[in-house]
């Protein structure tokens, strides 16, 4: 028993050493390659979590703050990303093509599939590590072999960034539950092209009229932007968002007077 215990302890230490090395590699790794749009396939590791045919988290959410990722337009084709992909939340909403080939696993189809970063991978096993939903992992398989591929657990794969495309969708703003006139947390979802929001600003109204002044909100967590203010916010409120390539969109008076937390507001704007 003592020998078995010692061997187990050695194995655990070795595993922790690998994980720590991977985490450090991820933290020190240049993110520019993952952020670039090009035709170059980059190597990565893939795992999966949650229900085999689900969207990842049991609550269909994740560390980015998106909701209902099991429904259109994300449609459960989602993934956690380690730090070079998640980027402290700045990578939330980014779209990637992923694929695995037969050299990676006999069940792989080699066909590209598109996923969206909606969650954070806290325990990476490679410089780039996609912890995919069960649905997305299985989608890389040949027809009828998705379960066989999922049984592999961890595989080598390739990825590249692509523009997001959510047909029929406009940018949607979700105010988190618990919000009030002095605490204003917002998620912007379903942005085409970059998919990301790296900056959000709000314009308040006074006596029902816009002030004309934009106030910076700060990233609270994931893709949740927040404003804390001693002067109560009065609607209507306008919001302006900026993607990681510097493109901006402005939603005038998108949040009406009398807004409450836990509510979504659909804009009429979208990145072309």
Would the pLDDT of 29 be above 70?
A: no
* Whether the domain at 30-161 and the domain at 172-266 fall into the same CATH topology: no
Q: CA-CA distance, 91 to 78, in Å (whole number)?
A: 13
For the beta carbon of residue 248, count every other beta carbon within 10 angstroms.
11
* Environment class of 189 (CB within 10 Å of its CB; exposed 0-12, middle 13-18, buried 19+): buried
Using DSSP's 3-state secondary structure scheme, residue 142 falls into: coil
The DSSP element (H or E) to which 149 belongs, if any, is helix 146-150
H-only helix segments in 106-251: 134-139, 146-150
Phi, psi of 200, rounded to the nearest 5 degrees: -135, 140
Q: Which of 82-91, 206-215, 258-267 has the lowest mean pLDDT?
A: 206-215
In the chain, the percentage of residues whose pLDDT exceeds 90 is: 82
Would the pLDDT of 15 be above 80?
A: no
Cβ-based neighbours of 55, under 8 Å, separated by 6 or more: 69, 70, 74, 76, 78, 133, 135
Q: CA-CA distance, 51 to 64, in Å (whole number)?
A: 19
Which superfamily is assigned to 30-161 in CATH? RlpA-like domain (2.40.40.10)
pLDDT value, residue 134 = 98
- Residue with the bigger pLDDT between 19 and 110: it is 110
Phi, psi of 182, rounded to the nearest 5 degrees: -110, -5
Q: What is the tens place of the pLDDT at every residue in 233-256?
A: 988 999 999 999 999 999 999 999
Q: What is the tens place of the pLDDT at every residue in 67-82?
A: 999 999 999 999 999 9
Q: Does domain 172-266 have CATH number 2.60.40.760?
A: yes
pLDDT value, residue 17 = 43
Give yes or no for a contact between 93 and 223, defined as CB atoms under 8 angstroms apart.
yes
Q: CA-CA distance, 71 to 131, in Å (whole number)?
A: 19
Q: What is the tens place of the pLDDT at every residue in 157-169?
A: 999 999 999 999 9
Q: Which pTM does this prediction carry?
A: 0.88
Would the pLDDT of 123 be above 80?
A: yes
Ranges of each domain in the chain: 30-161, 172-266
Confidence tier at 31 by pLDDT (50, 70, 90): confident
Confidence tier at 5 by pLDDT (50, 70, 90): very low
């Amino acid at each position: 028993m003592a020998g078995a215990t010692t061997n187990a302890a050695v194995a655990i230490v070795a595993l922790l050493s690998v994980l720590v090395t991977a985490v450090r590699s991820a933290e020190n790794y240049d993110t520019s390659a993952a952020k670039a749009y090009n035709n170059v396939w980059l190597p990565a590791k893939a795992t999966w979590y949650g229900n085999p045919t689900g969207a990842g988290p049991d609550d269909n959410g994740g560390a980015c703050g998106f909701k209902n990722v099991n429904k259109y337009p994300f449609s459960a084709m989602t993934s956690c990303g380690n730090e070079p992909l998640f980027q402290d939340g700045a990578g939330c909403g980014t779209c990637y093509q992923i694929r695995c080939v037969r050299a990676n696993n006999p069940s792989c189809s080699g066909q590209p599939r598109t996923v969206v970063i909606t969650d954070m991978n806290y325990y990476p096993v490679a410089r780039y590590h996609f912890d995919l939903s069960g649905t997305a992992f299985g989608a890389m398989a040949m027809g009828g072999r998705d379960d066989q591929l999922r049984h592999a657990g961890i595989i080598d794969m390739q990825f590249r960034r692509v523009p997001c495309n959510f047909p029929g969708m406009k940018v949607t703003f979700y105010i988190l539950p618990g919000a009030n006139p002095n605490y204003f947390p917002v998620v912007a979802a379903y942005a085409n092209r970059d998919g990301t929001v790296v900056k959000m600003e709000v314009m308040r109204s006074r006596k029902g009229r816009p002030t004309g002044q934009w106030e910076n909100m700060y990233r609270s967590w994931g893709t949740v932007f927040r404003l804390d203010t001693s002067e109560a916010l009065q609607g209507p409120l306008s919001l302006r968002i900026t993607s990681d390539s510097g493109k901006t969109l402005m939603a005038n008076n998108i949040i009406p007077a009398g807004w409450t937390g836990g509510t979504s507001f659909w804009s009429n704007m979208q990145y072309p």
